Amino acid sequence: MRSDVLIIGAGGAGLMAALSAKAEGATVKVITKEYPTRSQTCMAQGGINAALGNVGEDSIEAHIQNTLKSAHGEADEESVKFMCEEAPKIVAWLDSIGVCFSRTQDAKIAQRTLGGASAARACYAQDYTGLKILHTLYDRCNAGGIETLNERYFLDLLKDESGRVYGAKFLNIRTGELEMYEAGSVILATGGYSRIYAQNSTNSTASTGDGIAAAKRAGAALLGMEFVQFHPTALKNSSILISESARGEGGYLLNSKGERFTNELAPRDEVSRAIDAEIKRGEEIFLDIRHLGEALINEGLPQERKLAKLYENVDPVHELIPIRPVAHYTMGGIEVNKKGQTNLSGLYACGECSNPKVHGANRLGGNSLLEILVFGKQAGVYGAKEALSLEKKESSLPEVTLFEFESKEQIPLDFYAIREEVGNLFYQDVGIVRSKKQLLHAKERIEELHAKLPLMGPNDNSLIYNTNLVEFLEFQNILEICDSVVSAALKREVSAGAHFIV
């Protein structure tokens, strides 16, 4: 079954690419391992940056400078400039399709200050910014009749003799069938890899880097894999995110003695390191938003209150919230240019699985929603243009076949336990601060585990909705990505942003 453009992943980047490709006149198929509205984008809370100056002076130039500073020389100036210039247009477009942004008293889109920003630049919708943007994009895709196939796990890209990517293979999770789809161009929008840190990550369990691992197997170049952002404030026991907007609104960080110890609105890498240093001194760390008052907390931070109560049994209106930094966002990914093109012909990438060189060594809060939309649009437009320039042809792929996987008699090693071990290993050794010795230790262990893969596997032999199998496939991708991350970290001997060598 052929379409002009095949988009893998249906989060903000994938849906934006789909809408843009469709607007270019291309036929579009979107395939996701979940459902569109369940993707990681719904978890983005803080806002989307655009220098609108709605609540105080701001400029596109300031947005560019803040972004470049946070990137520590690892961003491409042209790409950053492009993104920051597009930002006001993207926000205006979101407004025109019905995104429910919060408003100021003078009827403008409300903006707040996030870490590393010189102005109140993040446009927000309470603390549901990503959710509301994602759902509005989904509604637009419904309006445009964009075809979405749900619950298909992306296995591998298809490449012809000339090296051109012409489609992809999927496991239909519901039926256990192997499905192949052919396209003029393929756009990966499969999300990041924070879940290599397993339970030490704020992310959805789906953020396992499937697209990056598959692209790597097909020969795509990866860039900046060592740059992993640790969010300063996740709930201590559950790693559930407490949005940066809690500090943006005026929240403090306190140690066990009740002392503030850092500038709460510094970029995330700095704040996370400050917390990490306190924790290593034996301190417990808390987020304090009590002084903001119940009304403001209910209005601006309702999710935070709900989650702190549910997972830590504390009410932030009256109590301190225990926190620690955990893996939150991965700057690295498939290297792309401003058009979303990878080094493989026919293959594009956008969103967190890609690296369009705008976040560099550390992403600013509010720039991720912006990036997925600006570069999701680019990938959609240029992916469509390339596909439409090709000669039309029918699909030459075989019919659907059953997915075959080896059901093993003996499974001596439990991959769930090892997944947890890898998460802790990486949190310790490839974490907020890293030494060469730690990195070598992690690399050695990952190589050992790779070699032991034949001793692991799913216990469930069913072909129908076998999440055990899917999680094992994800785990294999996790190991591949771990190898890329630790190898890239070893190559970079000088600290930069989120990659901090001691």
Task: Return the active site residues.
Answer: 268
Torsion 100-105-109-115 (CA) sign: negative
CB of 235 to other proteins, least distance (A): 9
> Residue 130: helix, strand or coil by DSSP?
helix
- Burial classification of residue 367, based on how many CB atoms lie within 10 Å of its CB (0-12 exposed, 13-18 middle, 19 or more buried): buried
Nearer to other proteins, 23 or 433 (CB): 23
**Nearest-CA neighbor of 258 among 174, 320, 341?**
320
CB of 369 to other proteins, least distance (A): 14
Nearer to other proteins, 140 or 339 (CB): 140
3-state percent breakdown (helix, strand, coil) of the chain, nearest 5? 40, 20, 40
Furthest-apart CA atoms within the chain: distance in Å: 69
Distance CA(170)–CA(157), nearest Å, equals 9
CB of 322 to other proteins, least distance (A): 15
Distance CA(384)–CA(482), nearest Å, equals 33
Nearer to other proteins, 61 or 147 (CB): 147
Q: What is the DSSP letter of 364?
A: P
> Residue 219 is encoded by which pair of tokens?
């020969």
**Is 47:112 a contact under the CB 8 Å cutoff?**
yes
CB of 352 to other proteins, least distance (A): 15
Nearer to other proteins, 56 or 98 (CB): 98
179: enclosing H helix or E strand? strand 177-188
Distance CA(433)–CA(440), nearest Å, equals 14
CB of 501 to other proteins, least distance (A): 32
CB of 474 to other proteins, least distance (A): 13
Contact footprint for other proteins (CB under 8 A)? 34-35, 37-40, 42-43, 92, 95-98, 100-105, 107-108, 125-126, 128, 131-132, 135, 138-140, 142-143, 145, 150, 174, 204-206, 238, 240-241, 303, 306-307, 310-311, 313, 416-417, 458-460, 462, 464-468
Q: How far is CA 309 from CA 216, 280, 314, in A?
A: 41, 26, 5
CB of 140 to other proteins, least distance (A): 6
Nearer to other proteins, 42 or 336 (CB): 42
Nearer to other proteins, 256 or 459 (CB): 459
Distance CA(463)–CA(461), nearest Å, equals 7
Torsion 131-135-136-138 (CA) sign: positive
> Residue 13 is encoded by which pair of tokens?
């980047």
Residues 6+ away with beta carbon under 8 Å from 124: 46, 47, 48, 101, 102, 110, 111, 112, 245
Q: How far is CA 268 from CA 52, 193, 448, in A?
A: 23, 18, 33
CB of 139 to other proteins, least distance (A): 4
CB of 35 to other proteins, least distance (A): 6
Residues 6+ away with beta carbon under 8 Å from 391: none
Nearer to other proteins, 294 or 444 (CB): 294
Rg (CA), the chain: 22
- Whose structure tokens read 């072909």? 463
Q: HSE on the CB side for 366, CA within 13 Å?
A: 33
Nearer to other proteins, 61 or 421 (CB): 421
Torsion 190-434-44-75 (CA) sign: negative
Nearer to other proteins, 239 or 341 (CB): 239
